[in-house]
Amino acid sequence: MVEWCIIRTSPGRTIPVATSLNEAGIEAWTPKVTIVSRAGRTRQRIQREVPVIEGIVFAKCEHIPELVAISRKPGAVYSVFRYQGAVPTIRDHDLDPLRLAERAASKSSRPTPIELGRAVRYPGAGFDGMTGIVEGFDGRFAIVAFAGFKIPVKVSSHLLLDAA
């Protein structure tokens, strides 16, 4: 099971911290959206990425020793979140609502197409934490076979998340 820890940083450094951790080989993620704003006298449109939750980055728990070591160096720009002396962890499927909010807020980005036979998760209707295999499509719906169910389930395909 994949688990994540919370990295806290200043609001303006959220995306740069996530980017630098990924470049250093530490898998990190922060939900972000692309917004369009106007700038300058000509009111030219500018696209930029902003974090959905400012100051919060999620990193895989397997990297906690590295993250703590880096955060204790002089000039560090983040800290590893602790609660009662321990680093709390978050299960991967508990981040699904943030992934869906990120997808919904990014009107310009379309979800990746789902192929037959792909392992997916469906965050809702009692399927939290379960992985299923896509067996077919019916319009906007996907037919997914979940372990323990005798017949496949018809679910909204736009809510499916990759199981990896």
Residue 66 is predicted with a pLDDT of 92
- Domain-terminating residue out of 57, 76, 105: 105
Residue 67 is predicted with a pLDDT of 92
Look at residue 12 and tell me if it is in a domain: yes
Residue 111 is predicted with a pLDDT of 53
Residue 74 Ramachandran class (φ > 0 left, ψ -120 to 50 alpha, else beta): beta
In Å, what is the CA distance from 68 to each residue of 3, 65, 79, 80?
16, 5, 7, 6
Total domain count, the chain: 2
Contacts of 103 (CB under 8 A, 6+ apart): 109, 111
**Within this chain, do residues 97 and 48 fall inside the same structural domain, yes or no?**
yes
**Within this chain, do residues 82 and 152 fall inside the same structural domain, yes or no?**
no
N-term to C-term CA, the chain: 11
In Å, what is the CA distance from 47 to each residue of 43, 109, 139?
12, 13, 33
Residue 44 is predicted with a pLDDT of 85
The answer to whether residues 55 and 8 touch, using CB atoms and an 8 Å cutoff, is: yes
**Within this chain, do residues 131 and 155 fall inside the same structural domain, yes or no?**
yes
Structural domain boundaries enclosing 76: 3-105
pLDDT in tens, the chain (164 residues): 789 999 999 998 999 999 999 999 999 999 988 888 888 888 888 888 888 889 999 999 999 999 999 999 998 899 999 999 899 999 988 888 888 888 777 655 555 567 788 888 887 767 776 788 888 888 888 888 888 788 888 888 777 887 76
Residue 125 is predicted with a pLDDT of 67
Look at residue 145 and tell me if it is in a domain: yes
Task: Report the C-alpha gap between 161 and 120 in whole angstroms.
Answer: 6
**Within this chain, do residues 10 and 75 fall inside the same structural domain, yes or no?**
yes
In Å, what is the CA distance from 81 to each residue of 8, 12, 52, 70, 119?
6, 18, 18, 13, 32
**Within this chain, do residues 89 and 123 fall inside the same structural domain, yes or no?**
no
Residue 93 is predicted with a pLDDT of 83
CATH number at residue 146: 2.30.30
The answer to whether residues 123 and 161 touch, using CB atoms and an 8 Å cutoff, is: yes
**Within this chain, do residues 24 and 79 fall inside the same structural domain, yes or no?**
yes
Residue written as token pair 């469906």: 122
**Within this chain, do residues 85 and 153 fall inside the same structural domain, yes or no?**
no
* pTM score, whole prediction: 0.66
Look at residue 147 and tell me if it is in a domain: yes
